[in-house]
């Protein structure tokens, strides 16, 4: 069985996932942009994987947008995004994993909602570390 491990930024929360992911999507909806603070959320999905908290479950909080299915699970100490398990659906923020996932995203979703500055990003200069700010 494939196993993955993950944690939050402060390492108070740790988790383990056993099984496979059935989807990997970059979501550009306004809610994913708001919760990630970035151009998109990057989430892995599974309906068959086994999930368990290894440490810090008391630090795990979930916010649900009223009258919707949208949820964000996070560490109440450092704010890091964490997996959400809801009615058998596991959603794992890709950046929360400490183990390597040998998958490429299956696609971009809700691109009609993307940020206005989120285009032609392959043309933006790339740096191996933080650039000098003037």
Which top CATH class is 3-114? mainly beta
CA–CA gap between residue 73 and residue 65 (Å, rounded): 12
Query: Which residues of the chain are under the pLDDT cut of 50?
Result: none
- Supply the pLDDT for residue 77: 97
pTM: 0.89
What is the rounded distance in angstroms from the CA atom of residue 41 to the CA atom of residue 26?
Answer: 6
């Amino acid at each position: 069985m494939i196993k993955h491990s993950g944690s939050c930024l402060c390492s108070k929360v740790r988790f383990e996932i056993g099984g496979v992911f059935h989807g990997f999507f970059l979501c550009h909806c306004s809610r994913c942009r708001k919760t990630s603070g970035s151009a998109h959320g990057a989430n892995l999905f599974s309906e068959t994987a086994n999930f368990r908290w290894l440490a810090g479950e008391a630090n795990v909080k979930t916010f649900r947008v009223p009258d919707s299915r949208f949820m964000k699970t996070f560490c109440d100490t450092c704010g890091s995004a964490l997996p959400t398990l809801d009615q058998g659906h596991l959603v794992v923020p890709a950046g929360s994993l400490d183990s390597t996932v040998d998958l490429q995203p299956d696609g971009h979703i809700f691109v009609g909602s993307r940020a206005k500055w989120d285009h032609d990003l392959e043309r933006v200069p790339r740096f191996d570390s933080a650039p000098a700010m003037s």
